[in-house]
Amino acid sequence: MNNDIARFNMIEQQIRPWEVLDGQVLALLLEVKRENFAPMAHKALAFVDMEIPLGKDADSDQVMLAPRVEARFLQNAAVKHTDKVLEIGTGSGYMAALLAHQAASVLSFELDPALAQQARANLQTAGIQNAEVRQADGSQGALADGPFDVIMLSGSVAEVPQVLLNQLSIGGRLLAVVGEDPMMRASVITRTAEQQWQTSEPWDTIAPRLKGFPEHNRFAF
């Protein structure tokens, strides 16, 4: 099966059934070649309904999220061409590429130096010029570069830090997977006023943890 057929099947069999129906998002998934962002060892899995390992270590939890999760996040973000976007957790750079096609600019933080370097190379190969990858801990955001219209956490957290919510513009949206395994929900948090945020939790999913974010205290009795 060639990549174009596999990509079409991914959209029709995985993504549409997950209520991703936005025509612009679907067109973008056809345009941006997901296989070019998958690691060489796992390119055959680029269109499979699963997370793709990115780390070299067997126990690494660095992954490309499942295609349907990426697509649903992209739809919920409702990115406009004037938006300034912050992504935390670059991974392979695929989500940064998708966001860059829709936004004015994308700033993406990746903690792992090797992944950050590979993501930069992937974005350059894809011809993406409005996305910057920084090798750094993004858990505190990028105050000097904000405010942002969209902040996307490409992984899960126990809770969303207030420091990130404060970096949203009025009307800006933060998207993250929030909770504890096995009960996590996709959260879309919109800043509606200077000191007011509104949260929706439109769907359930599970995603690996983003490093650098605090966990809830666990008490043993």
Residue 92 sits in a domain whose CATH number is 3.40.50.150
In a domain, 114, yes or no: yes
Q: Is residue 17 in a domain?
A: yes
pLDDT digits (tens, 9 = 90+) for 72-112: 999 999 999 999 999 999 999 999 999 999 999 999 999 99
Q: What is the mean pLDDT of residues 203-209?
A: 93
Is 212 a member of any domain?
no
Q: For residues 109 and 132, what is the distance between their CA atoms, to the nearest angstrom?
A: 9
What length is written for the chain?
221
Q: How far apart are CA 221 and CA 150, in angstroms?
A: 41
Query: Minimal CA–CA distance to 147: which of 90, 100, 101, 194?
Result: 194
User: Is there a domain that residue 77 lies in?
Assistant: yes
Whether 214 is covered by a domain: the verdict is: no
pLDDT band with cut points at 50, 70 and 90 for residue 120: very high
What's at 180, amino acid-wise? Answer: E
Domain count, the chain: 1
Residue 216 is predicted with a pLDDT of 72
Predicted local distance difference test score (pLDDT) of residue 60:
59
Span 2-7, mean pLDDT?
Answer: 94
42 part of a folded domain:
yes
- The whole-number pLDDT of residue 1 equals 63
The pLDDT of residue 221 is 45
Which residue, 81, 65, 85, is CA-closest to 28? 81
The phi and psi torsions of 34 (rounded to 5 degrees) equal -60, -35
pLDDT band at residue 220, thresholds of 50, 70 and 90?
Answer: very low
Whether the predicted pLDDT of 118 surpasses 90 = yes
Q: Is the pLDDT of residue 28 over 80?
A: yes
pLDDT in tens, 42-71: 999 999 999 999 976 544 578 999 999 999
Q: What integer is the mean pLDDT of 141-145?
A: 96
Q: What percent of the chain has pLDDT over 70?
A: 95
Q: Is residue 220 part of a domain?
A: no
Residue 8: which domain range?
3-204
In a domain, 210, yes or no: no
Quote the CA–CA distance of 132 and 35 in Å, as a whole number: 21
Q: For the whole model, what pTM was predicted?
A: 0.93
The confidence score (pLDDT) of residue 181 equals 85
